[in-house]
Amino acid sequence: YFGTSILTDLDSFQEVVVKIERPTYNKPFLGGFRNMLTGVEFHNAGSQTKPKRRPDKGIQLFCKETQTIVTKNKLQQSRNTTSTQMTKIGLYVSNMTDKLISPGKYFTAEEYHKRRLEAVVVLQKYFRRWYAKRLVQKLTEQKRLRLAWEAQEELWKKTEREEKIRREYERKLNPKTKEDFELLYHDLALWMQEETERINQTLTGAERKTALCALLEEETELIACFGMHKLNANVENQQKAILHLLGKCAQPRRWKAYDGKITEMDTQNTLRGKELLEIYRSICTKDIPKDERTAVLLTLKCTVKEHECKLTQEIVALIDREVDLMSREVKESNLEGLRQRICTLFLQYVKIPEFNPEVAGLLKVPQDPYKLYKNIYFCHSCENYLPSSEFPIPANSRTIGRCRSCYQLDNEARRREAYFKYRLILENLRKAEADYQDDAKIVFLVQLPDMQYMIENIWNCQSVLSACSDLYDLVMVRWDKQHEWSPWNTILLTKEEADAHLKLCNLQKAYEATFIDRIKQKHIRAKNYFAEIPVMSSFLHRSNNQANANYYKKHSSLK
Protein backbone atom coordinates (compact mmCIF):
# COMPACT_ATOMS: atom_id res chain seq x y z
CA TYR A 1 0.00 0.00 0.00
CA PHE A 2 1.20 3.53 -0.67
CA GLY A 3 -0.41 6.94 -0.74
CA THR A 4 -0.65 9.30 -3.69
CA SER A 5 -2.34 12.63 -4.45
CA ILE A 6 -4.55 13.20 -7.39
CA LEU A 7 -5.76 16.48 -8.87
CA THR A 8 -9.49 16.88 -8.24
CA ASP A 9 -9.83 20.51 -9.29
CA LEU A 10 -7.68 23.24 -10.64
CA ASP A 11 -6.00 23.93 -7.34
CA SER A 12 -7.03 21.03 -5.06
CA PHE A 13 -5.41 17.60 -4.54
CA GLN A 14 -6.78 14.57 -2.75
CA GLU A 15 -4.73 11.91 -0.99
CA VAL A 16 -5.80 8.35 -1.91
CA VAL A 17 -4.42 4.89 -0.93
CA VAL A 18 -3.45 2.67 -3.82
CA LYS A 19 -3.36 -1.10 -3.34
CA ILE A 20 -0.79 -2.91 -5.42
CA GLU A 21 -1.32 -6.59 -6.21
CA ARG A 22 1.74 -8.52 -7.19
CA PRO A 23 0.99 -10.48 -10.34
CA THR A 24 1.27 -14.26 -10.13
CA TYR A 25 2.39 -14.42 -13.75
CA ASN A 26 4.88 -12.64 -15.93
CA LYS A 27 3.43 -9.88 -18.01
CA PRO A 28 4.19 -10.09 -21.68
CA PHE A 29 6.72 -7.71 -23.21
CA LEU A 30 4.76 -5.28 -25.34
CA GLY A 31 7.74 -3.51 -26.89
CA GLY A 32 8.81 0.13 -26.55
CA PHE A 33 11.24 2.72 -27.91
CA ARG A 34 14.47 4.49 -26.99
CA ASN A 35 15.34 8.14 -27.08
CA MET A 36 18.17 8.51 -29.60
CA LEU A 37 19.53 11.61 -27.91
CA THR A 38 19.43 10.66 -24.24
CA GLY A 39 19.45 6.85 -24.66
CA VAL A 40 16.52 6.40 -22.24
CA GLU A 41 14.33 3.37 -22.92
CA PHE A 42 10.57 3.60 -22.67
CA HIS A 43 8.43 0.41 -22.47
CA ASN A 44 4.86 0.13 -23.51
CA ALA A 45 2.69 -0.38 -20.45
CA GLY A 46 -0.22 -2.75 -20.28
CA SER A 47 -3.26 -2.82 -18.12
CA GLN A 48 -2.66 -3.96 -14.55
CA THR A 49 -6.12 -5.40 -14.26
CA LYS A 50 -6.15 -9.14 -13.57
CA PRO A 51 -7.51 -10.97 -16.64
CA LYS A 52 -10.84 -12.67 -16.27
CA ARG A 53 -10.66 -16.47 -16.23
CA ARG A 54 -12.81 -18.44 -18.58
CA PRO A 55 -15.49 -20.56 -16.91
CA ASP A 56 -14.54 -24.25 -16.46
CA LYS A 57 -16.83 -26.42 -18.62
CA GLY A 58 -15.56 -29.71 -17.18
CA ILE A 59 -13.98 -30.68 -20.49
CA GLN A 60 -10.24 -30.96 -20.93
CA LEU A 61 -9.16 -28.67 -23.79
CA PHE A 62 -5.93 -28.73 -25.75
CA CYS A 63 -4.35 -26.00 -27.78
CA LYS A 64 -3.73 -26.74 -31.43
CA GLU A 65 -1.32 -24.85 -33.61
CA THR A 66 -1.12 -25.00 -37.39
CA GLN A 67 2.27 -26.12 -38.68
CA THR A 68 3.12 -24.54 -42.02
CA ILE A 69 5.93 -26.02 -44.08
CA VAL A 70 8.85 -23.70 -44.67
CA THR A 71 10.30 -23.90 -48.15
CA LYS A 72 13.54 -22.54 -49.46
CA ASN A 73 15.61 -22.85 -52.59
CA LYS A 74 19.24 -23.93 -52.57
CA LEU A 75 21.59 -24.70 -55.41
CA GLN A 76 23.49 -27.99 -55.43
CA GLN A 77 26.54 -28.95 -57.41
CA SER A 78 26.76 -32.64 -58.45
CA ARG A 79 29.97 -34.55 -57.79
CA ASN A 80 30.45 -35.71 -61.40
CA THR A 81 30.19 -33.10 -64.09
CA THR A 82 28.94 -34.61 -67.37
CA SER A 83 28.04 -33.21 -70.71
CA THR A 84 26.31 -34.37 -73.86
CA GLN A 85 27.95 -33.77 -77.18
CA MET A 86 25.79 -33.73 -80.28
CA THR A 87 26.75 -33.79 -83.92
CA LYS A 88 26.94 -30.33 -85.45
CA ILE A 89 28.61 -28.51 -88.27
CA GLY A 90 32.30 -29.09 -87.94
CA LEU A 91 31.95 -31.98 -85.41
CA TYR A 92 31.13 -35.64 -86.03
CA VAL A 93 30.08 -37.93 -83.14
CA SER A 94 29.82 -41.64 -83.86
CA ASN A 95 26.46 -43.29 -83.09
CA MET A 96 27.68 -46.92 -83.29
CA THR A 97 27.28 -47.48 -79.54
CA ASP A 98 23.96 -45.70 -79.26
CA LYS A 99 20.84 -47.65 -78.36
CA LEU A 100 17.42 -47.11 -79.73
CA ILE A 101 14.85 -47.20 -76.92
CA SER A 102 11.25 -47.59 -77.95
CA PRO A 103 8.25 -47.67 -75.58
CA GLY A 104 6.76 -51.08 -74.76
CA LYS A 105 3.21 -52.26 -74.98
CA TYR A 106 0.90 -50.44 -72.67
CA PHE A 107 -1.11 -52.56 -70.24
CA THR A 108 -3.88 -51.62 -67.91
CA ALA A 109 -4.10 -52.06 -64.11
CA GLU A 110 -6.24 -55.18 -64.54
CA GLU A 111 -3.59 -56.75 -66.77
CA TYR A 112 -0.89 -55.77 -64.27
CA HIS A 113 -2.71 -57.44 -61.36
CA LYS A 114 -3.45 -60.47 -63.53
CA ARG A 115 0.27 -60.85 -64.30
CA ARG A 116 1.09 -60.57 -60.57
CA LEU A 117 -1.53 -63.22 -59.74
CA GLU A 118 -0.07 -65.58 -62.34
CA ALA A 119 3.40 -65.00 -60.90
CA VAL A 120 2.09 -65.72 -57.37
CA VAL A 121 0.48 -68.95 -58.62
CA VAL A 122 3.80 -70.04 -60.12
CA LEU A 123 5.60 -69.27 -56.87
CA GLN A 124 2.99 -71.20 -54.86
CA LYS A 125 3.26 -74.14 -57.24
CA TYR A 126 7.03 -74.40 -56.83
CA PHE A 127 6.81 -73.85 -53.06
CA ARG A 128 4.16 -76.55 -52.65
CA ARG A 129 6.25 -78.92 -54.73
CA TRP A 130 9.26 -78.24 -52.49
CA TYR A 131 7.17 -78.60 -49.32
CA ALA A 132 5.60 -81.86 -50.56
CA LYS A 133 9.04 -83.31 -51.38
CA ARG A 134 10.30 -82.29 -47.95
CA LEU A 135 7.26 -83.84 -46.25
CA VAL A 136 7.68 -87.08 -48.20
CA GLN A 137 11.36 -87.23 -47.29
CA LYS A 138 10.48 -86.69 -43.63
CA LEU A 139 7.84 -89.42 -43.71
CA THR A 140 10.26 -91.73 -45.51
CA GLU A 141 12.89 -91.12 -42.84
CA GLN A 142 10.34 -91.75 -40.09
CA LYS A 143 9.29 -94.97 -41.80
CA ARG A 144 12.92 -96.05 -42.11
CA LEU A 145 13.55 -95.33 -38.44
CA ARG A 146 10.35 -97.13 -37.46
CA LEU A 147 11.24 -100.21 -39.51
CA ALA A 148 14.77 -100.16 -38.09
CA TRP A 149 13.35 -99.89 -34.56
CA GLU A 150 10.91 -102.74 -35.20
CA ALA A 151 13.70 -104.89 -36.63
CA GLN A 152 15.88 -104.07 -33.63
CA GLU A 153 13.03 -104.87 -31.23
CA GLU A 154 12.35 -108.13 -33.03
CA LEU A 155 16.05 -109.01 -32.91
CA TRP A 156 16.16 -108.08 -29.22
CA LYS A 157 13.11 -110.25 -28.49
CA LYS A 158 14.59 -113.13 -30.46
CA THR A 159 17.92 -112.76 -28.65
CA GLU A 160 16.18 -112.53 -25.30
CA ARG A 161 14.08 -115.59 -26.11
CA GLU A 162 17.16 -117.54 -27.14
CA GLU A 163 19.02 -116.37 -24.03
CA LYS A 164 16.07 -117.40 -21.88
CA ILE A 165 16.01 -120.85 -23.47
CA ARG A 166 19.78 -121.15 -23.03
CA ARG A 167 19.57 -120.12 -19.35
CA GLU A 168 16.72 -122.54 -18.75
CA TYR A 169 18.68 -125.33 -20.45
CA GLU A 170 21.74 -124.45 -18.37
CA ARG A 171 19.66 -124.49 -15.21
CA LYS A 172 18.30 -127.92 -16.06
CA LEU A 173 21.76 -129.19 -16.96
CA ASN A 174 23.38 -127.89 -13.76
CA PRO A 175 20.59 -127.47 -11.18
CA LYS A 176 21.53 -125.58 -8.04
CA THR A 177 18.39 -124.00 -6.58
CA LYS A 178 14.92 -125.24 -5.64
CA GLU A 179 13.45 -123.61 -8.74
CA ASP A 180 15.91 -125.52 -10.93
CA PHE A 181 14.84 -128.87 -9.46
CA GLU A 182 11.17 -127.83 -9.82
CA LEU A 183 11.76 -127.37 -13.54
CA LEU A 184 13.49 -130.76 -13.74
CA TYR A 185 10.67 -132.62 -12.00
CA HIS A 186 8.08 -130.73 -14.08
CA ASP A 187 9.82 -131.74 -17.33
CA LEU A 188 10.06 -135.30 -16.00
CA ALA A 189 6.30 -135.34 -15.41
CA LEU A 190 5.60 -134.03 -18.92
CA TRP A 191 7.96 -136.61 -20.43
CA MET A 192 6.33 -139.41 -18.44
CA GLN A 193 2.88 -138.29 -19.57
CA GLU A 194 3.92 -138.19 -23.24
CA GLU A 195 5.64 -141.58 -23.06
CA THR A 196 2.69 -143.17 -21.27
CA GLU A 197 0.24 -141.88 -23.88
CA ARG A 198 2.50 -143.12 -26.68
CA ILE A 199 2.78 -146.60 -25.12
CA ASN A 200 -0.97 -146.83 -24.53
CA GLN A 201 -1.71 -145.86 -28.12
CA THR A 202 0.87 -148.07 -29.83
CA LEU A 203 1.19 -151.17 -27.61
CA THR A 204 -1.23 -153.62 -26.01
CA GLY A 205 -1.10 -156.62 -23.71
CA ALA A 206 2.23 -157.89 -22.41
CA GLU A 207 4.25 -155.53 -24.60
CA ARG A 208 2.47 -152.57 -23.04
CA LYS A 209 3.20 -153.79 -19.51
CA THR A 210 6.85 -154.40 -20.37
CA ALA A 211 7.21 -150.93 -21.85
CA LEU A 212 5.55 -149.37 -18.80
CA CYS A 213 7.89 -151.28 -16.46
CA ALA A 214 10.92 -150.11 -18.47
CA LEU A 215 9.58 -146.56 -18.37
CA LEU A 216 9.17 -146.82 -14.57
CA GLU A 217 12.75 -148.05 -14.17
CA GLU A 218 14.01 -145.18 -16.34
CA GLU A 219 12.03 -142.72 -14.23
CA THR A 220 13.58 -144.21 -11.08
CA GLU A 221 17.08 -143.78 -12.48
CA LEU A 222 16.36 -140.16 -13.40
CA ILE A 223 14.99 -139.43 -9.91
CA ALA A 224 18.13 -140.99 -8.38
CA CYS A 225 20.26 -138.82 -10.66
CA PHE A 226 18.26 -135.76 -9.55
CA GLY A 227 18.92 -136.75 -5.94
CA MET A 228 22.68 -136.90 -6.50
CA HIS A 229 22.62 -133.46 -8.10
CA LYS A 230 20.56 -132.17 -5.20
CA LEU A 231 23.08 -133.45 -2.64
CA ASN A 232 25.95 -131.77 -4.48
CA ALA A 233 23.95 -128.56 -4.83
CA ASN A 234 23.06 -128.60 -1.11
CA VAL A 235 26.74 -128.83 -0.18
CA GLU A 236 27.62 -125.94 -2.48
CA ASN A 237 24.64 -123.84 -1.36
CA GLN A 238 25.46 -124.51 2.28
CA GLN A 239 29.00 -123.22 1.79
CA LYS A 240 27.64 -120.12 0.02
CA ALA A 241 25.15 -119.54 2.84
CA ILE A 242 27.94 -119.73 5.43
CA LEU A 243 30.08 -117.21 3.52
CA HIS A 244 27.03 -114.97 3.09
CA LEU A 245 26.37 -115.07 6.84
CA LEU A 246 29.98 -114.24 7.68
CA GLY A 247 29.98 -111.52 5.03
CA LYS A 248 27.00 -109.86 6.72
CA CYS A 249 28.87 -109.96 10.03
CA ALA A 250 31.80 -108.17 8.39
CA GLN A 251 29.77 -105.44 6.69
CA PRO A 252 30.40 -101.93 8.08
CA ARG A 253 27.65 -99.66 9.30
CA ARG A 254 26.23 -97.59 6.44
CA TRP A 255 23.94 -94.57 6.38
CA LYS A 256 22.92 -91.92 3.91
CA ALA A 257 23.84 -88.31 4.67
CA TYR A 258 21.76 -85.23 3.88
CA ASP A 259 23.74 -84.61 0.68
CA GLY A 260 23.06 -88.14 -0.61
CA LYS A 261 26.54 -89.54 0.05
CA ILE A 262 26.91 -92.95 1.69
CA THR A 263 29.00 -93.04 4.85
CA GLU A 264 30.54 -96.27 6.13
CA MET A 265 31.94 -96.93 9.59
CA ASP A 266 33.69 -100.00 10.96
CA THR A 267 33.01 -100.91 14.57
CA GLN A 268 34.80 -103.34 16.86
CA ASN A 269 32.18 -105.98 16.11
CA THR A 270 32.46 -105.62 12.31
CA LEU A 271 36.26 -105.71 12.50
CA ARG A 272 35.97 -108.88 14.56
CA GLY A 273 33.63 -110.29 11.88
CA LYS A 274 36.15 -109.46 9.13
CA GLU A 275 38.91 -111.20 11.04
CA LEU A 276 36.85 -114.37 11.52
CA LEU A 277 35.74 -114.31 7.86
CA GLU A 278 39.34 -114.17 6.62
CA ILE A 279 40.35 -117.04 8.93
CA TYR A 280 37.41 -119.18 7.78
CA ARG A 281 38.25 -118.61 4.12
CA SER A 282 41.88 -119.48 4.76
CA ILE A 283 41.18 -122.77 6.57
CA CYS A 284 38.65 -123.80 3.88
CA THR A 285 41.13 -123.21 1.05
CA LYS A 286 42.55 -126.40 -0.41
CA ASP A 287 45.83 -127.22 -2.15
CA ILE A 288 48.02 -124.68 -0.39
CA PRO A 289 51.65 -125.20 0.68
CA LYS A 290 52.40 -126.69 4.10
CA ASP A 291 54.08 -123.57 5.48
CA GLU A 292 51.05 -121.40 4.57
CA ARG A 293 48.70 -123.99 6.06
CA THR A 294 50.77 -124.04 9.24
CA ALA A 295 50.66 -120.23 9.47
CA VAL A 296 46.87 -120.29 9.05
CA LEU A 297 46.49 -122.90 11.77
CA LEU A 298 48.69 -120.90 14.16
CA THR A 299 46.57 -117.78 13.51
CA LEU A 300 43.42 -119.77 14.18
CA LYS A 301 44.95 -121.18 17.38
CA CYS A 302 45.83 -117.71 18.67
CA THR A 303 42.32 -116.47 17.85
CA VAL A 304 40.38 -119.20 19.65
CA LYS A 305 42.75 -119.18 22.68
CA GLU A 306 41.32 -115.78 23.61
CA HIS A 307 38.27 -117.60 25.05
CA GLU A 308 38.64 -120.66 27.25
CA CYS A 309 35.84 -123.23 26.83
CA LYS A 310 35.37 -126.84 25.83
CA LEU A 311 34.85 -125.90 22.14
CA THR A 312 38.07 -123.88 21.90
CA GLN A 313 40.04 -126.61 23.68
CA GLU A 314 38.81 -129.15 21.13
CA ILE A 315 39.74 -126.83 18.24
CA VAL A 316 43.25 -126.33 19.67
CA ALA A 317 43.69 -130.09 20.08
CA LEU A 318 42.66 -130.70 16.44
CA ILE A 319 45.06 -127.99 15.25
CA ASP A 320 47.96 -129.58 17.14
CA ARG A 321 47.05 -132.96 15.70
CA GLU A 322 47.02 -131.64 12.10
CA VAL A 323 50.36 -129.86 12.57
CA ASP A 324 51.85 -133.07 13.96
CA LEU A 325 50.52 -135.16 11.06
CA MET A 326 51.81 -132.67 8.48
CA SER A 327 55.24 -132.82 10.07
CA ARG A 328 55.15 -136.61 9.58
CA GLU A 329 54.49 -136.18 5.82
CA VAL A 330 50.97 -137.63 5.91
CA LYS A 331 49.14 -137.48 2.57
CA GLU A 332 46.70 -134.64 1.95
CA SER A 333 43.85 -137.04 1.17
CA ASN A 334 44.14 -138.56 4.65
CA LEU A 335 43.82 -135.15 6.30
CA GLU A 336 40.55 -134.10 4.63
CA GLY A 337 38.37 -135.47 7.42
CA LEU A 338 40.39 -133.73 10.11
CA ARG A 339 40.36 -130.43 8.24
CA GLN A 340 36.60 -130.67 7.69
CA ARG A 341 36.13 -131.23 11.41
CA ILE A 342 38.23 -128.14 12.19
CA CYS A 343 36.10 -126.04 9.78
CA THR A 344 32.89 -127.33 11.37
CA LEU A 345 34.02 -126.58 14.92
CA PHE A 346 35.29 -123.14 13.93
CA LEU A 347 31.94 -122.42 12.31
CA GLN A 348 30.26 -123.31 15.60
CA TYR A 349 32.70 -120.95 17.29
CA VAL A 350 31.80 -118.14 14.87
CA LYS A 351 28.05 -118.58 15.46
CA ILE A 352 28.35 -117.97 19.22
CA PRO A 353 27.49 -114.29 20.00
CA GLU A 354 30.00 -114.20 22.88
CA PHE A 355 32.84 -114.75 20.41
CA ASN A 356 31.24 -112.92 17.44
CA PRO A 357 28.78 -110.26 18.70
CA GLU A 358 27.68 -109.26 15.19
CA VAL A 359 26.09 -112.68 14.53
CA ALA A 360 23.51 -112.30 17.30
CA GLY A 361 20.93 -110.59 15.06
CA LEU A 362 21.45 -112.97 12.11
CA LEU A 363 20.80 -116.35 13.71
CA LYS A 364 17.52 -118.08 12.90
CA VAL A 365 17.41 -119.77 16.30
CA PRO A 366 17.25 -117.08 19.01
CA GLN A 367 19.60 -117.35 21.94
CA ASP A 368 16.80 -116.67 24.42
CA PRO A 369 14.87 -119.96 24.87
CA TYR A 370 11.69 -118.11 25.84
CA LYS A 371 11.48 -116.64 22.33
CA LEU A 372 11.13 -120.15 20.92
CA TYR A 373 7.61 -120.36 22.32
CA LYS A 374 6.42 -117.51 20.12
CA ASN A 375 5.24 -118.12 16.53
CA ILE A 376 6.15 -121.81 16.68
CA TYR A 377 3.75 -124.28 15.00
CA PHE A 378 3.60 -128.03 14.60
CA CYS A 379 3.77 -129.61 11.12
CA HIS A 380 1.55 -132.72 11.10
CA SER A 381 3.36 -134.11 8.06
CA CYS A 382 6.98 -134.16 9.21
CA GLU A 383 6.02 -133.80 12.92
CA ASN A 384 8.45 -130.96 13.55
CA TYR A 385 8.00 -127.69 15.42
CA LEU A 386 8.93 -124.86 13.06
CA PRO A 387 8.62 -121.03 13.02
CA SER A 388 5.68 -119.45 11.18
CA SER A 389 7.94 -118.33 8.33
CA GLU A 390 8.39 -122.01 7.30
CA PHE A 391 4.66 -122.46 6.54
CA PRO A 392 3.29 -121.25 3.14
CA ILE A 393 -0.23 -120.19 4.11
CA PRO A 394 -2.59 -119.35 1.22
CA ALA A 395 -4.92 -116.40 1.59
CA ASN A 396 -8.02 -118.63 1.76
CA SER A 397 -6.54 -121.09 4.28
CA ARG A 398 -8.01 -121.44 7.77
CA THR A 399 -5.36 -123.81 9.21
CA ILE A 400 -1.57 -123.89 9.31
CA GLY A 401 -1.18 -127.03 7.19
CA ARG A 402 2.19 -128.44 6.14
CA CYS A 403 5.59 -126.78 6.09
CA ARG A 404 7.49 -125.73 2.97
CA SER A 405 9.70 -128.82 2.94
CA CYS A 406 6.68 -131.13 3.03
CA TYR A 407 4.98 -129.16 0.25
CA GLN A 408 8.13 -129.38 -1.85
CA LEU A 409 8.52 -133.12 -1.21
CA ASP A 410 4.86 -133.76 -2.07
CA ASN A 411 5.20 -131.69 -5.24
CA GLU A 412 8.28 -133.66 -6.35
CA ALA A 413 6.58 -136.99 -5.65
CA ARG A 414 3.07 -136.35 -7.05
CA ARG A 415 2.08 -133.19 -8.85
CA ARG A 416 5.52 -132.01 -10.03
CA GLU A 417 4.38 -128.49 -10.86
CA ALA A 418 6.77 -125.61 -11.59
CA TYR A 419 5.92 -122.45 -9.63
CA PHE A 420 8.87 -120.42 -10.87
CA LYS A 421 6.91 -118.48 -13.49
CA TYR A 422 4.12 -117.62 -11.04
CA ARG A 423 6.68 -116.60 -8.45
CA LEU A 424 8.35 -114.33 -11.02
CA ILE A 425 5.04 -112.63 -11.85
CA LEU A 426 4.29 -112.12 -8.14
CA GLU A 427 7.73 -110.64 -7.44
CA ASN A 428 7.47 -108.22 -10.39
CA LEU A 429 4.01 -107.18 -9.22
CA ARG A 430 5.22 -106.47 -5.68
CA LYS A 431 8.15 -104.42 -6.97
CA ALA A 432 5.84 -102.39 -9.20
CA GLU A 433 3.40 -101.74 -6.34
CA ALA A 434 6.24 -100.68 -4.04
CA ASP A 435 7.29 -98.08 -6.63
CA TYR A 436 3.86 -96.40 -6.44
CA GLN A 437 4.54 -95.53 -2.74
CA ASP A 438 0.81 -95.37 -1.93
CA ASP A 439 0.84 -97.81 1.00
CA ALA A 440 -0.32 -100.86 -1.00
CA LYS A 441 -1.18 -103.82 1.25
CA ILE A 442 -3.28 -106.36 -0.65
CA VAL A 443 -0.48 -107.44 -2.98
CA PHE A 444 1.62 -108.56 0.00
CA LEU A 445 -1.25 -110.65 1.38
CA VAL A 446 -1.62 -112.64 -1.84
CA GLN A 447 0.47 -115.82 -1.78
CA LEU A 448 1.86 -118.01 -4.52
CA PRO A 449 -1.09 -120.49 -4.64
CA ASP A 450 -3.51 -117.54 -4.91
CA MET A 451 -1.53 -116.07 -7.80
CA GLN A 452 -1.48 -119.46 -9.53
CA TYR A 453 -5.26 -119.79 -9.14
CA MET A 454 -5.86 -116.32 -10.58
CA ILE A 455 -3.60 -116.86 -13.59
CA GLU A 456 -4.84 -120.37 -14.42
CA ASN A 457 -8.56 -120.23 -13.60
CA ILE A 458 -9.49 -116.57 -14.05
CA TRP A 459 -7.11 -115.29 -16.73
CA ASN A 460 -6.53 -118.66 -18.51
CA CYS A 461 -2.71 -118.21 -18.55
CA GLN A 462 -2.80 -115.74 -21.42
CA SER A 463 -2.88 -112.04 -22.17
CA VAL A 464 -6.35 -110.53 -22.47
CA LEU A 465 -5.38 -108.44 -25.50
CA SER A 466 -3.01 -110.58 -27.59
CA ALA A 467 -3.71 -114.06 -26.10
CA CYS A 468 0.05 -114.54 -25.53
CA SER A 469 0.51 -117.65 -23.37
CA ASP A 470 4.23 -117.34 -22.55
CA LEU A 471 4.25 -116.70 -18.80
CA TYR A 472 7.78 -115.30 -18.97
CA ASP A 473 6.45 -112.34 -21.00
CA LEU A 474 3.29 -111.76 -18.92
CA VAL A 475 2.91 -109.30 -16.05
CA MET A 476 0.05 -108.25 -13.80
CA VAL A 477 -0.68 -104.53 -13.47
CA ARG A 478 -3.45 -102.33 -12.17
CA TRP A 479 -6.62 -102.09 -14.23
CA ASP A 480 -7.27 -98.60 -12.82
CA LYS A 481 -3.93 -97.10 -11.88
CA GLN A 482 -5.58 -94.54 -9.60
CA HIS A 483 -6.53 -97.26 -7.09
CA GLU A 484 -4.52 -99.86 -5.20
CA TRP A 485 -3.86 -103.21 -6.88
CA SER A 486 -6.21 -106.00 -5.87
CA PRO A 487 -7.49 -109.21 -7.47
CA TRP A 488 -10.56 -107.19 -8.57
CA ASN A 489 -8.43 -104.32 -9.93
CA THR A 490 -5.91 -106.10 -12.14
CA ILE A 491 -5.27 -107.22 -15.70
CA LEU A 492 -2.87 -109.77 -17.21
CA LEU A 493 -0.90 -108.39 -20.18
CA THR A 494 2.46 -108.67 -21.87
CA LYS A 495 5.21 -106.24 -20.88
CA GLU A 496 4.71 -103.98 -23.92
CA GLU A 497 0.92 -104.00 -23.51
CA ALA A 498 1.27 -103.22 -19.80
CA ASP A 499 3.45 -100.17 -20.53
CA ALA A 500 0.88 -98.88 -23.03
CA HIS A 501 -2.02 -99.64 -20.66
CA LEU A 502 -0.51 -97.67 -17.78
CA LYS A 503 -0.19 -94.59 -20.02
CA LEU A 504 -3.96 -94.46 -20.62
CA CYS A 505 -5.94 -91.73 -18.87
CA ASN A 506 -9.50 -92.78 -19.71
CA LEU A 507 -10.22 -96.51 -19.91
CA GLN A 508 -13.78 -95.98 -21.15
CA LYS A 509 -12.53 -94.21 -24.29
CA ALA A 510 -9.52 -96.48 -24.86
CA TYR A 511 -11.36 -99.84 -24.76
CA GLU A 512 -14.64 -101.03 -26.16
CA ALA A 513 -17.60 -101.70 -23.92
CA THR A 514 -17.55 -105.46 -24.60
CA PHE A 515 -13.90 -105.69 -23.58
CA ILE A 516 -14.56 -103.75 -20.38
CA ASP A 517 -17.47 -106.09 -19.56
CA ARG A 518 -15.15 -109.09 -19.96
CA ILE A 519 -12.67 -107.57 -17.53
CA LYS A 520 -15.46 -106.78 -15.04
CA GLN A 521 -16.65 -110.39 -15.16
CA LYS A 522 -13.16 -111.63 -14.32
CA HIS A 523 -13.02 -109.14 -11.43
CA ILE A 524 -16.34 -110.49 -10.12
CA ARG A 525 -14.94 -114.03 -10.20
CA ALA A 526 -11.89 -112.86 -8.25
CA LYS A 527 -14.16 -111.15 -5.70
CA ASN A 528 -16.15 -114.35 -5.22
CA TYR A 529 -12.95 -116.32 -4.65
CA PHE A 530 -11.41 -113.90 -2.14
CA ALA A 531 -14.67 -112.94 -0.39
CA GLU A 532 -14.38 -115.99 1.87
CA ILE A 533 -11.06 -114.77 3.27
CA PRO A 534 -11.52 -112.74 6.48
CA VAL A 535 -8.47 -110.56 5.82
CA MET A 536 -9.58 -109.75 2.26
CA SER A 537 -13.21 -109.06 3.19
CA SER A 538 -12.40 -105.68 4.76
CA PHE A 539 -10.58 -104.53 1.60
CA LEU A 540 -13.43 -105.88 -0.52
CA HIS A 541 -16.08 -103.91 1.43
CA ARG A 542 -13.96 -100.78 1.18
CA SER A 543 -13.64 -101.14 -2.60
CA ASN A 544 -17.42 -101.69 -2.93
CA ASN A 545 -18.17 -98.55 -0.92
CA GLN A 546 -15.75 -96.58 -3.06
CA ALA A 547 -17.31 -97.91 -6.26
CA ASN A 548 -20.82 -96.98 -5.02
CA ALA A 549 -19.63 -93.49 -4.13
CA ASN A 550 -18.13 -93.03 -7.61
CA TYR A 551 -21.37 -94.31 -9.18
CA TYR A 552 -23.57 -91.85 -7.27
CA LYS A 553 -21.13 -89.02 -7.95
CA LYS A 554 -21.19 -89.74 -11.69
CA HIS A 555 -24.99 -89.87 -11.88
CA SER A 556 -25.42 -86.72 -9.80
CA SER A 557 -23.09 -84.86 -12.18
CA LEU A 558 -25.11 -86.12 -15.18
CA LYS A 559 -28.33 -84.87 -13.60
pLDDT in tens, 246-275: 888 888 888 888 887 888 888 888 888 899
What backbone phi and psi angles, to 5 degrees, belong to 108? Answer: -85, 175
The answer to whether residue 293 sits within a structural domain is yes
Q: Identify the pLDDT of residue 558.
A: 45
Contact 442, 484 (CB under 8 A): yes
- At 546, is the pLDDT very low, low, confident or very high (cuts 50, 70, 90)? low
3-class secondary structure for 300-350? HHHHHCCCCCHHHHHHHHHHHHHHHHHHCCCCCHHHHHHHHHHHHHHHHHH
Q: Which amino acid is at 254?
A: R
Same domain, 437 and 470: yes
Percent of the chain with pLDDT over 70: 86
Percent of the chain with pLDDT over 90: 19
Looking at the structure of the chain, the number of domains it has is: 3
Q: Contact 507/482 with Cβ under 8 angstroms?
A: no
pLDDT at 121: 96
Q: What is the mean pLDDT of residues 429-443?
A: 85
pLDDT higher for 366 or 496?
Answer: 496
| Residue 366: pLDDT band with limits 50, 70, 90 | low
Task: Specify whether 230 is located in the same domain as 289.
Answer: no
Mean per-residue pLDDT over the chain, rounded: 84
Please compute the mean of the pLDDT values over residues 444-455 and round it to a whole number.
85
Question: pLDDT tens digit string along 49-101?
Answer: 566 777 787 887 776 665 667 778 877 766 666 667 778 888 888 888 888 88
Looking at the fold, whether 272 and 365 belong to one and the same domain comes out as yes
* 394 or 467, greater pLDDT: 467
pLDDT surpassing 70 at residue 32 = yes
Q: How confident is the model at residue 335 (pLDDT cuts 50, 70, 90)?
A: confident
Q: Where a domain ends, among 189, 224, 250? A: 250
Quick check: is 223 in a domain? yes
User: 310 and 277 in one domain?
Assistant: yes
Domain identity same for 211 and 309: no
The answer to whether the beta carbons of residues 285 and 295 sit under 8 Å apart is: no
**For 211-218, which contacts have Cβ atoms below 8 Å and span 24 or more sequence positions?**
none
Across 109-118, 466-475, 479-488, the highest mean pLDDT is recorded for: 109-118
| Residue 360 within any structural domain of the chain | yes
Q: How far apart are CA 114 and CA 125, in angstroms?
A: 16
Contact between 185 and 173 under an 8 Å Cβ cutoff? The reply is no
Alpha carbon 186 to its chain centroid, in Å, reads 35
Instruction: Determine the structural domain holding residue 221 and report its residue range.
Output: 178-250
pLDDT, one tens digit per residue, over 393-424 is 765 666 777 888 888 888 888 888 888 888 88
Helices marked H in 90-177: 109-173
Q: Give the Cα separation of 87 and 97 in Å (integer).
A: 14
Flag whether 59 is in a domain: no
Is residue 438 very low, low, confident or very high in pLDDT (cuts 50, 70, 90)? Answer: confident
Cα–Cα distance between 373 and 379 in angstroms, integer? 15
Q: Is the pLDDT of residue 243 over 60?
A: yes
Last residue of a domain, one of 355, 373, 391: 373
Cα gap 472→160, rounded to integer Å:
11
Per-residue DSSP letter, 461 = T
Same-domain check for residues 206 and 279? no
What ranges in 60-108 are assigned the alpha helix state H? none
Is the predicted pLDDT of residue 133 greater than 90, yes or no? yes
**Are residues 209 and 281 located together in one domain of the fold?**
no
Please indicate, yes or no, if residue 324 is contained in any of the structural domains.
yes
Contact yes or no for 311/349 (Cβ under 8 A):
yes
Predicted pLDDT at 559: 47
